[in-house]
A and B are shown apart, each in its own frame.
Chain A
Amino acid sequence: MPAVLTVDSRSGVPIYLQIIEQVKRSVALGVLAPGEQLPTVKQLAVDLTVNPNTVARAYRELERDEVIETSPGRGSFVRGNGVAQSSANAAANDIAAEALMRAVREAKSVGLSRSNVNALFEAAISRWFPEEA
């Protein structure tokens, strides 16, 4: 698991958000399988060399978002069985939504109109989903 996570302390993005984003991505892509155990807070903190409270905060939010579950004494796990697929979907959704938000904000900031942005969006859809045109 630590192999799939890296943090960039020079980035302006808070480290706990970087951890959340990467765990969600790993779950969405199946790199982290349903039921798979995550490292303890202490282990991940030492592995990534980040503050344990920062890791604990990321885990708490991942629990709240129903990506992982923690059982006292056993540890934290990627949600399994029935919820696995929906949490993977939700994680994929979160990642895509954030990227789209950024792109639209950027488009607006350089002065494009709503219809301009729509046209760009349509072009992007056609390019990446050609079979469904």
Chain B
Amino acid sequence: MSISIEHLTKNYGTFRAVDDVSIDIPSGSVFGLLGPNGAGKTTTFKCMLGLALPTSGNVTFDGKQLTPQTFQRLAYVPERSVLYEWMTGADHLEMQKQAFPRYNAARANDLMHLFSLDGRKRVRAMSKGMRTALAVVMAFAIDPDIMVLDEPTSGLDPVNQRSVLKLIIDASAQGKCIILSSHQIGQVERAADHIAVLERGKVVLSGAVDDLKAGSKIVEGIFPSDAVALNGMSSDQRITRVEKTGRIVRLTVNSGGDAFAAQLSAMGAQSVRIVDLNLEDIFLNAVDSSQTADIVESA
């Protein structure tokens, strides 16, 4: 099962929540959707699931539109819990059993134990973390082929967060198609093979996690004087940001780090160093540079 989102746009009145987003998720892949609050992640999920009507664009599953049959193989963990306050955990699992032909009672039982959930407890007596865990159990108990997980670790303690990651990884190894959002970038970095960063509805960065990390560098040159001509540098597509502070020039690049280091040397830099970036740095740079001018100069 694969998912294809093509040129998805969603307007709420005059506000454009999702702006021309295209994402492909092959089978056996975990796609991480990152972005600040209000960037359009949840709206993208809702459009994927038919819970919101796209203004334009298309979402297909194995090349086909969403059908009731697709829903039987699809698990959704929404950002805000949709659990019924007066019902117990066991009641919710019973609903899953009725609605999803591939519901697996033994698996559900194991998962309830994994998260130390008591099926007799009513939702209104559950903490935020227990509610998230119950939603995760409901999702994984139906043996889905597609999983749409909106903040599936929110409110969980570190042990349970790790358990959810392992469930996602195990499902991915079985060939499931998974899209995930989380503010915990370190988790996305572990679980996902591809990511996209959304900012004000637009994809500002996307790619394979390993390639993004391998290519993204800060190249820093220290020059003999602060009269450094940076002509033309900001027009290079590989440079996402140019900062100049006195004699120090700092380039944030998405590839070609060694070449830019050589270029700074050729321009007369006394010292050049290349700094590796982790996904959190890359994310913050992507969000930051979509808001600021290309060349930042400070005294």
Which residues of A are in contact with B by a Cβ distance under 8 Å? 7, 9-17, 41-42, 45-46, 49-54, 57, 105-106, 108-111
Contact = CB atoms under 8 A, between A and B. Distances in A.
Interface string B143-170: 0000000000000000000100110011
Interface of B: 28-30, 162, 165-166, 169-170, 172-173, 186, 189-193, 209-211, 213-214, 216, 270-281
Contacts of B281: 12
24 contacts: A7-B190, A9-B190, A10-B278, A12-B216, A12-B281, A14-B213, A15-B190, A15-B210, A41-B173, A42-B170, A45-B173, A46-B173, A49-B162, A49-B169, A49-B190, A51-B172, A51-B192, A52-B28, A53-B29, A53-B193, A54-B193, A105-B274, A106-B273, A110-B271
Given A16-B210, A49-B162, A52-B173, A11 B192 contact: no
Task: Specify the main secondary structure of chain B where it touches its partner.
Answer: helix
A53 B210 CA distance: 10
Contacts of A15: 189-190, 209-210
Nearest to A57: B210
A109 B214 CA distance: 20
Contact of A12 (B186, B271, B273, B276): B276
A52 B210 CA distance: 13
A109 B276 CA distance: 15
B250 to A, nearest CB: 14
B169 A13 contact: no
B209 A52 contact: no
Contact of A52 (B172, B189, B273): B172
A49 B277 CA distance: 21
A21 to B, nearest CB: 13
A11 B275 CA distance: 11
Nearest to B216: A12
A52 B186 contact: no
B210 A54 contact: yes
B261 to A, nearest CB: 8
B214 A14 contact: yes
Contacts of A16: 210
A109 B271 contact: yes
Contacts of A52: 28, 169, 172-173
Nearest to A7: B190
Nearest to A58: B210
A108 B173 CA distance: 44
Given A49-B169, A53-B29, A110-B271, A9 B210 contact: no
A115 to B, nearest CB: 17
A49 B163 CA distance: 9
